[in-house]
Amino acid sequence: MKKIVLILFSLVVCGFASVIGLDALGEEQIAGGMASTAGRGYAGGAKTGDAEGLSVLNPARNAFDTKVVFNVNFLLEMVALEKHGDNFGVNNITMPSFNLSFPMGGFGAMGLSLWQTYSSNIDEEVSEGKNSIETSIEYQSSIYEIVPSYTLRLPVIRNFALGASAHVVMGNSMRKISMGPNTEGLPDSDTWAVKKIEVSDYVDGTWEIKNHPAYYTVALQYRGHQSSFYFSYTTPHTLLNELSYNFRMSELDTLAPTKKSREIEVPALIATGMNFRFMKRNNVMLDLAARGWDKDIENVGGSFNMEPVTKTQKDMLVALGLQRDGSPLFYDPYLDRITYRLGGWYKTWYVKDVYELGGSLGAGFPLGRKGTTLDLSFQGGKRFADSGRAWDEIFLGFRIGLMGVGNWGQTR
């Protein structure tokens, strides 16, 4: 196991994920990007069990857990950008989230998650025509949230649990576009002055929430004998991205930066989901989430012909999933102990006219007898972008989740 983790860490190099919305917020890691949830098409927010762990959209769920769960998620994503039949592709490896949930029996359950909600990533170079200097583009922007949560089963109606979480936002962003001179407009006698001079448009900044320490989610979860459901509401908030723009010759030869900040008003998010269990260990689940973006998002932009704003639309997720839980009995055949998952989702992005359709296949392999699980999921799909700037994207995702289960604090 150590070796696997080491290999994964050594592969965590920032590269390229979706490039839609690079200048706005970037790509969203739906539902915390957990491998187990992704395996069933991001559905299953309402599914309860003894070690389901934290759900970032549904902080009430883990009130019904009985075991401490810690999980780490990795994502390897391959994206092909396509327009008029031409395409190019790139890879990205990232860690969308860490989650820890800690049930305390009658005292409810606590949870803590580190979640990369949005990220913009690209680092590519292009040599164009006669210019001897390559044009390079690099984005490194991550909005991280630290999400502490608490949930409690209600006193009389013990089938219900109420949970809340606070999202403390942090992160940083960087964009660097380097290029050589375009001397087409210059007379030949003047080109000597700019030969081989590379200039970088450089923007860096930090992310936080304007005027608040955090934004919040409250959720209500019902666990029935066969069906469960949840409803959650996340407060609207304003993201503040303080940026400093530079136009520099090198890292040492810079200008005094122009400091500006952009504010992104993120509307409220409502999410709901249900899970129906049949034939003991089989589940069918449906999740819905919607966030009604109503204002344009101001872009990092600021340079060349880059767009100043990103137009938005209603951001919606419809996810449908199937899961066959693995047998909890250690002496059952191994194949029977594996959890099998299947799902599909349809998502409208916050970026106008961008739709994503995807399907996934997942499995959870129990390791040893303590309940430690390795979750794998394969995802594939397409993002349809109708706008001129964004291109269609075909993506393949490969997620790995390492889930550790313990029984701290539990009496036998």
| Binding site residues, other proteins, CB under 8 A | 1, 3-4, 7, 11, 19, 22-23, 76, 78-81, 83, 86-91, 124, 126-129, 131, 133, 135, 137, 177, 179-183, 185-186, 189-190, 192-194, 197, 199, 201, 245-249, 255-260, 302-307, 365, 374, 388-389, 391, 396, 398
3-state SS assignment for residue 64: helix
Q: Give the CB-side neighbour count of residue 271, counting CA atoms within 13 A.
A: 30
* 149 strand-pairing partners: 111, 165
**Smallest separation (angstroms) from other proteins to the CB of 128:** 4
* Shorter beta-carbon distance to other proteins: residue 115 or 349: 349
Q: Do 359 and 39 meet the contact criterion of CB atoms below 8 Å apart? A: no
**CB–CB of 290/316 below 8 Å?**
yes
Of 282 and 303, nearer to other proteins (C-beta) is 303
Of the two residues 16 and 150, which places its CB atom closer to other proteins in the complex?
A: 16
How many degrees, rounded to 5, is the angle at CA 198 between CA 191 and CA 86? 105
d(CA 68, CA 391): 43
Q: Which is closer to other proteins, CB of 11 or CB of 357?
A: 11
Rounded to a whole number of angstroms, the minimum distance from the CB of residue 177 to other proteins is 6
**Least Cβ distance, residue 208 to other proteins (angstroms):** 18
Tokens representing 106 are 């009658």
Closer residue to other proteins (CB): 76 or 170: 76
Q: Please, what is the minimum distance in Å from the beta carbon of residue 19 to other proteins?
A: 8
CA 155 to each of CA 46, 162, 278: distance values in angstroms, whole numbers, following the listed order: 20, 11, 28
135 vs 407, beta carbon nearer other proteins = 135
What is the closest distance, in whole angstroms, from the C-beta atom of residue 320 to other proteins in the complex? 25
* Shortest reach from residue 17's CB to other proteins, in Å: 13
Q: State in angstroms the smallest separation of the CB of 174 from other proteins.
A: 16
C-alpha 95/C-alpha 101 separation (Å) is 18
Considering beta carbons, is residue 45 or 301 the nearer one to other proteins? 301
* Beta carbons within 8 Å of 59's beta carbon, 6+ residues apart: 111, 147, 149, 150, 151, 163, 164, 165, 217, 218, 219, 232
- Maximum Cα–Cα distance across the chain: 87
